């Protein structure tokens, strides 16, 4: 018999080692005690200052695009009789609103998707912050 065979036979004769019945409980208690001593504190990926900065940049970019983008001419630039209520010309009153909607319709999809992505990031950040605090 070679040494290898003797070693195999000797290892087979040894009783198999079994952990104590409460081994898992003891290990989990130690893990939990260490975790309670050093809990992981949640820190948002983007802080409040970062969100304000992103919001300001998005607002300025959107405002800049509205100011620089030439307004599209409306279909018929004919003279329409002015509708007045209590002496106020309603067409002149609502003209900025109609121009705003025209510009919103002509905004670049990339800018719109970027703004929506920022809003989605903010929403998920707030959702995770609330989930951690519970």
The tokens 């670049």 sit on which residue? 108
What tokens were used for 84? 């007045």
Walk along the chain (134 residues) and give the pLDDT tens digit of each residue: 789 888 888 888 888 788 888 999 999 988 888 777 777 777 788 888 988 998 899 888 877 766 665 444 455 555 556 666 677 776 777 778 778 777 777 777 888 888 888 889 988 888 888 888 76
**Predicted TM-score of the model (pTM):** 0.32
φ/ψ of 115, rounded to 5, equals: -65, -45
Specify the pLDDT at position 70: 46
Taking alpha carbons only, the member of 124, 105, 127, 128 closest to residue 116 is 124
User: Using the 8-state DSSP alphabet, how is residue 44 labeled?
Assistant: -
Give Cβ neighbours of residue 26 (< 8 Å, ≥ 6 apart). Answer: 20
With beta carbons less than 8 A apart as the criterion, state whether 58 and 121 touch: no
Specify the pLDDT at position 97: 75
């Amino acid at each position: 018999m070679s040494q290898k065979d003797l070693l195999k036979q000797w290892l087979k004769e040894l009783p198999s080692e079994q952990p104590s019945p409460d081994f898992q409980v003891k290990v989990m208690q130690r893990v939990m005690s260490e975790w309670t001593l050093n809990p992981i504190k949640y820190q948002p990926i983007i802080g409040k200052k970062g969100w304000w900065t992103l919001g300001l940049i998005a607002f300025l970019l959107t405002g800049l695009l509205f100011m620089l983008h030439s307004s599209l001419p409306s279909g018929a630039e004919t003279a329409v009789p002015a509708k007045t209520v209590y002496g106020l010309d309603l067409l002149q009153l609502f003209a900025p609103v109609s121009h705003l909607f025209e510009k919103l319709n002509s905004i670049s999809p990339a800018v719109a998707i970027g703004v929506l992505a920022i809003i989605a990031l903010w929403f998920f950040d707030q959702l995770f912050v609330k989930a951690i605090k519970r």
